Amino acid sequence: MPVTKERKSRSPVIRAGLRSGESVRVLISHARVQQRLKELAKDIRRDFPKEALHLIGVLKGCVFFLADLARELGGEVSFDFMAVSSYGKGTNSTGEVKLIKDLDVSIEGKTNIVVEDILDTGLTLKYLLRLFEEKKPKHLRVVVLLDKIERRIADVRADYIGFTIPNEFVVGYGLDYDERYRNLGDVCVLQFDSRGKGKLE
């Protein structure tokens, strides 16, 4: 179907269910994300050219990132997921990390790549790495799509970073606010006006 002018200019925000008092601004377009994923996949494959890679996705924010990255990696790739909670309904980290879903298969002796959507305070990743290191992996590396370096509390860093971003709350491409906006194709900054129920601190 040909793309008409109107279809082209229609905001993805509306399709993602924008609520009154909330607005989003594109920070990183879907196309830029896809381009960067190709580079990240190359970097990872350069470090582990022939190894079978076991991706560990941290739910739920990682879903699109992991799915797209896995397809760029080539070679032998498997993946597993785990879920932790570090955020409630708001936009600020509580510092608490709770294990909600454990891995299904062992990571022992494997070349594991933890796939995280965003590195913020780093508390979640610190907790996960401590957990994984006890399980005797052959290699343990971390790839994050976004790094909000200004917010770091824990002494932790990713081996592969998609984009370093300013201290703003972002949604889209898997990232949520109160479970919404994950389905936006772009990574967007979420903003509230006086009518918005949420608040950014």
One symbol per residue from 27 to 46: x for binding ligand IMP (CB under 6 A), - otherwise; what is it? --------------------
Q: Which of residues 62-91 bind ligand IMP (CB under 6 A)?
A: 86-87
CB 126 within 8 A of CB 96: no
Shortest distance, position 107 Cβ to ligand IMP, whole Å = 19
Q: Shortest approach of ligand IMP to residue 200 CB, angstroms?
A: 10
| Cα radius of gyration rounded to whole Å, the chain | 17
How many C-beta neighbours within 10 Å does residue 35 have? 10
Tell me the residue type at 60. Answer: K
Determine if 120 is a binding residue for ligand IMP (CB under 6 A).
yes
The smaller minimum CB distance to ligand IMP, of residues 51 and 80, is found at 80
Q: How far apart are CA 193 and CA 181, in angstroms?
A: 17
Residue 27 identity:
L
Q: Among all chains, which residue has been given the structure tokens 């509230």?
A: 192
Residue from 22, 68, 116, 186 in contact with ligand IMP (CB under 6 A): 116
Per CB under 6 A, 118 contacts ligand IMP = yes
43 is catalytic: no
Q: Which is nearer to ligand IMP, 44 or 187 (CB)?
A: 187
**Shorter beta-carbon distance to ligand IMP: residue 10 or 25:** 25
CA distance 60 to 41: 21
Q: Is 75 left (phi over 0), alpha (psi -120 to 50) or beta?
A: left
| Residues contacting residue 156 through CB under 8 Å, at least 6 positions apart | 119, 122, 125, 126, 129
Residue number with CB closer to ligand IMP (16 or 170): 170
Residue from the set 19, 23, 72, 93 that interacts with ligand IMP by CB under 6 A = 93
Q: Which stretch binds ligand IMP (CB under 6 A): 48-56, 65-73, 116-124, 193-201?
A: 116-124
Q: Does 147 interact with ligand IMP (rule: CB under 6 A)?
A: no
Q: Return d(Cα 9, Cα 3) in angstroms, integer.
A: 10
Given 120, 176, 186, 193, the catalytic residue: 120
| CA gap 176, 197 in Å, rounded | 15
* Contacting residues toward ligand IMP, per CB under 6 A: 58, 61, 86-87, 93, 116-124, 169-171, 175
Catalytic residues: 120
